[in-house]
Amino acid sequence: MKSTIYKISTAILTVMVVLSMSSCSSVKNANNKQKGGVIGATGGAILGAIIGNNVGKGGNGELGAVIGGVVGGGAGVLIGSKMDKQAQKIEEEIPGAEVERVDDGIVVTFDENSGVYFDTAKYNINAASQATLSKLIGVFREYPDTNILVVGHTDSVGSEDSNMTLSKNRAYAVTNYLTNQGISNARVTTNWFGEGQPTNDNSTKEGRAKNRRVNIAIVPNQKMIDEAKTQSGEN
């Protein structure tokens, strides 16, 4: 597991950058139903882990509303311990997935090499992908006091508009599988970025395969935050 610690100043800067992009095309294609939704509390640093290493080239300003601030103090320590255990459980259940602990949250990245597979121009959840997601659902049931953000991406093959739609379909394919298997709709928020947030080189076959991905961010919900504050004497 990558235990990456991001500085708070970087987190704040990332939020500011993302929020400044509210007029870009990916915002126009955002999930209107989910606008302004709150999905727990974790730092802006998680945005970088979700959308890749090209924050300045695109982004969805609504994620700034979805992801709040880091919980500090004793409550933050308690939350961190719970999220550490959940991240470890995901690693045990799905060895191929990339699991990162970022601030108060967890980011899981699935690409063609890590259990949830998307062929070029496709968004179906095949049998192998279902098996992976079913394991993840088991963890979500074991840790119910978290919310989930699903974010879809594509490679650069095809037009920008078609890739935006494709990334939406990939994200919702995962979201729908989670909710059809009993994960509450209230826990899940869905976003998509098309080809605008690559993490690898789209000029290579291997890079494109990694860019056809879905990220899943897991963050503490308000119940977990309130209980942690009570336990630490901060309430």
CA distance 199 to 208: 9
pLDDT tens, position by position, 115-152: 777 777 878 888 888 889 999 999 999 999 998 999 99
pLDDT tens, position by position, 23-51: 233 323 333 233 223 333 344 677 777 77
CA distance 149 to 217: 5
Identify the structural domains of the chain with CATH numbers, from first to last.
2-231 (3.30.1330.60)
φ, ψ of residue 4 in degrees (nearest 5): -85, 125
Judge whether residue 88 has pLDDT over 80.
yes
Judge whether residue 112 has pLDDT over 80.
no
CA–chain centroid gap for 108, Å, is 7
Any idea of the CA torsion for 186, 188, 189, 190, to the nearest 10 degrees?
-140
pLDDT at 150: 92
Judge whether residue 187 has pLDDT over 80.
yes
* 135, 175 Cβ separation under 8 angstroms: no
pLDDT tens, position by position, 2-13: 443 333 333 333
Beta-strand relationship, 146-152 and 214-220: antiparallel
DSSP state of 24: S
Average pLDDT over residues 188-194: 91
Integer CA distances (angstroms), 115 to 27, 92, 107, 122, in order: 28, 13, 15, 15
pLDDT at 44: 61
Average pLDDT over residues 182-201: 91
Integer CA distances (angstroms), 26 to 4, 165, 226, in order: 27, 10, 34
